[in-house]
Structure 1
Amino acid sequence: MSLNFDRRKFMLGCAAATAATGGVGSPGKHASAIEPIARNGSHKFKLSLAAYSYRDLLTGDPAELTLADFVDDCAKMNLDATELTSYYFPADTTDADLRKLKQQCFHLGLSVSGTAVGNDFGFPPGAERDRQIADVKRWIDRAEVLGAPVIRIFAGKPKQGQSQQQTHDLMVEGIEACCQYAGEHGIHLALENHGGPTSTAEGVLSFVRDVRSPWFGVNLDSGNFYYDDPYTDLAKIAPYALNVQVKVVTSNNEERTNKQPTDYDRLARILKDSNYRGYIVLEYEEAGDPRTECPKHLAEIRKAFA
């Protein structure tokens, strides 16, 4: 699943054109739009579970579970894949460890849907920025070993003294540098809508317009637009999704004090209308034992996305 190499062409009649206006971006691009990811005209959904869902079980000294245990649970839930989120790998993980986990997934009939890094491209030139880019590239190498086709990345946060445009340009440059490396290894980078400059559809689309790489796209997170009706903006970024992360609730504020159950049926219609073909990854963040709660929500998601 790759981006169209001609996706920089103007599409004055594209549905995303309206959403693309008014955001931060390079001069002269505000009224333009890009081509959505090339599909074949029909949707296809595969189910996965993010290791972040087991975060409390995978951390601690000692941790209650290992990633191998998580993979076993994914197989028990009869999933198509597992997302092996980078945060839960031991610091001393080797390529041999990655290959062993990959073999376990294969023996259990699971693909590795992807991984994620907690990067920040908002830093100005210097040691910290270099470290952020190096860490993403390190996980590109690891994703290649795991057979993970996509890595969830983040834009980062504005830093003190930066203008909005300076922040945007720094983030675009960081993403492009990593995309060039990712493409050399056959890995896609998917930018998550996750606060700051990516807290709105317009913000996400400003990066989609300005990052110049066929290995770049969006990680659509259903729970990270904090409006009364987040589905309108989710529909705007859906045509550019390389990966879809599903939360079990939405909220109209970042404090998440007003939670509403995710409308799985509506989300499924949005992705069907955009002919999305790829992974639907449950990321469970709520209270309760995820080993009990995740199967319940996966049953609802299966029904909605059938």
Structure 2
Amino acid sequence: MGNISLGLNLEFARYENGSFDWAMDRAAEIGYRYVEPMVHWGRELLSEAGYFHSRSMLDDPLKLKHAAESRSLRISSISSHAPLAKPDIAVDYLKQAIRYAAECGSPMIMVDDGPVSGWTTEEENFTLMKYTLQEAVMVAEPRGIAIAIETHGPFTATPQGLDRLMKLVDSPVLTINLDTGNSYLSENDPHAWLDDIISNVTHLHAKDISVEDARRYRGKVRGMLGCACGEGVIDWERIIRTLTSADHDTVLSVECGSLDAATKSFHYLNDVVRRVSQQSPQPIS
């Protein structure tokens, strides 16, 4: 049965104008065991100045590894989103992200399927995504780094689209990051969807959507930062029960829009995991 660990996507720091180090400090103080940092190519002024949480892949990846270890944190994944259907952008970026992940101690990288060019057909986009994923897989496999496809873009907005994308390349390193909030906003039932794909889900974005935002944005957007887990539309007890039924471990990486929501989410999810464990004993980390 699968272990469940709680992690924090550092995206919460964006609306706090927080730096990478600030976000890492807050994650450790709250009690999270895992973090999901964001990386970028080249240099970015706001990050260098300490107003944004992303880290440049031009920096030594061992610095990121030390930043986590010095705070008794582990890295669940690095957020390295690149448009899969734009190989001129995505291929080299993802290859570097995979090599960076291998050195900084991350078991996987996070990617998604959008945006796409305005002039390509759906069939062309799938061909382009296959090319990108195949190139990335050839770098990921020998390093043992997973590539987690997030439910975030135009093709992963439905179970059928995600299934087709996952079948483009036959590789054990190609896995799924289900984003509960994004999948809900795309007018799916994330609970049933997780039930169907649990064998391939190696990472989960624990994102809740407030009732007000669900009413306003469902069917209109495919993604947004969430509210505190437990204050929205997601049934977390059902999600956690499904994760504990898996034959592999999973990190619940909270993705929300503020420090307050990150704190509330940790305490709420920790309580739910403990309650589910007591009802049906499972190892918790």
Question: Could you say which TM-score interval applies, normalised by the shorter chain?
Answer: 0.7 to 0.9
Partner of 2:22: 69
SS in 1 for 2:85: coil
Query: Which residue does the alignment assign to 2:241?
Result: 269
Q: Partners in 2 of 1:158 and 1:267 — Cα distance?
A: 31
What is the CA–CA distance in structure 2 between the aligned matches of 1:237 and 1:121, rounded to whole Å?
A: 21
CA distance in 2, matches of 1:245, 1:221: 5
1:90 shift after superposition: 4.8
Question: For this pair of structures, how many residues does the alignment match?
Answer: 247
Alignment map for 1:46-61 (pairs within 5 Å): 46-57=5-16
CA 92–155 in structure 1, closer or farther in 2 if over 3 Å, else same? closer
Inter-partner Cα distance in structure 2 for 1:92 and 1:84: 12
SS of 2:182's partner is: coil
Contact 2:39–2:57 (CA under 8 A) maintained in structure 1: no
Report the aligned-residue RMSD: 2.3
1:137 is matched by which residue type in structure 2? K
Gaps of 5+ in 1: 1-41, 58-63, 124-128
Equivalent residue for 1:235, pick from 195, 198, 204: 195
2:59 to 86, 94, 97: 94
Residue 111 (1) aligns with residue 58 (2): no
| Inter-partner Cα distance in structure 1 for 2:6 and 2:164 | 29
Distance 2:114 2:161 in 1: 12
Question: Moved runs in structure 1, 4+ residues, more than 6 A?
Answer: none
Q: Flag the structure with higher helix content.
A: 2
SS at match of 1:210: coil
Distance 1:92 1:148 in 2: 13
**2: CA distance between counterparts of 1:92 and 1:234?**
32
User: Given the superposition, is the C-alpha separation of residues 161 and 70 from structure 1 closer, same or farther in structure 2, using an over 3 Å criterion?
Assistant: closer
Is the counterpart of residue 83 in structure 1 residue 36 in structure 2?
yes
- 2:265 corresponds in structure 1 to 297
Q: Are 2:117 and 1:159 aligned?
A: yes
* Counterpart secondary structure, 2:82: coil
- Whether contact under 8 Å (1:243, 1:279) holds in the other structure is yes
- Separation (CA, whole Å) in 2 of partners of 1:237 and 1:195: 18
CA distance in 2 between counterparts of 1:187 and 1:211 reads 15
Look up the match of 1:190: 148
Matches within 5 A, 1:38-49: 42-49=1-8
Contact 2:57 2:100 in 1 (8 A): no
Between the aligned residues of both structures, percent identity stands at 21
Distance (whole Å) between structure 1 residues aligned to residue 140 and residue 190 of structure 2: 31
Whether the aligned pair in 2 keeps the contact of 1:151 and 1:188 (CA below 8 Å) is yes
2:208 to 238, 242, 248: 248
Based on CA coordinates, which of the two structures has the bigger radius of gyration?
1
Instruction: Give the letter for the 1:84 counterpart.
Output: P
AA in 1 matched with 2:256: Y
Distance in 1 between residues matched to 2:162 and 2:243, nearest whole Å = 17
The one-letter code sitting in structure 1 at the alignment partner of 2:62 is: R
TM-fit CA distance, 1:301:
1.0
* Alpha-carbon displacement from aligned partner over 1:285-305 (angstroms, at most 9, x marks no partner): 3xxxx2222111111111222
Which residue, 101, 104, 107 being the options, matches 1:146? Answer: 104
Equivalent pair of 2:7/2:33 in contact (CA under 8 Å): yes
CA offsets 1:14-73 (integer angstroms, 9 cap, x no match) = xxxxxxxxxxxxxxxxxxxxxxxxxxxx0210111001121123xxxxxx4321221111
User: Residues 99 and 209 (structure 1 numbering): CA distance in 2 closer, same or farther, change over 3 Å?
Assistant: same
Corresponding residue to 1:133 among 91, 94, 98: 91
Alignment of 1:198-217 (within 5 A): 198-217=156-175
TM-score, structure 1 normalization: 0.74
Structure 2 letter corresponding to 1:154: D
Post-superposition shift, 1:161? Answer: 4.2
2:283 aligned residue: none
For 1:185 and 1:199, locate their aligned partners in 2 and report how far apart those are by CA, in whole Å. 29
Letter in 2 for 1:197: F
TM-score by length of 2: 0.79
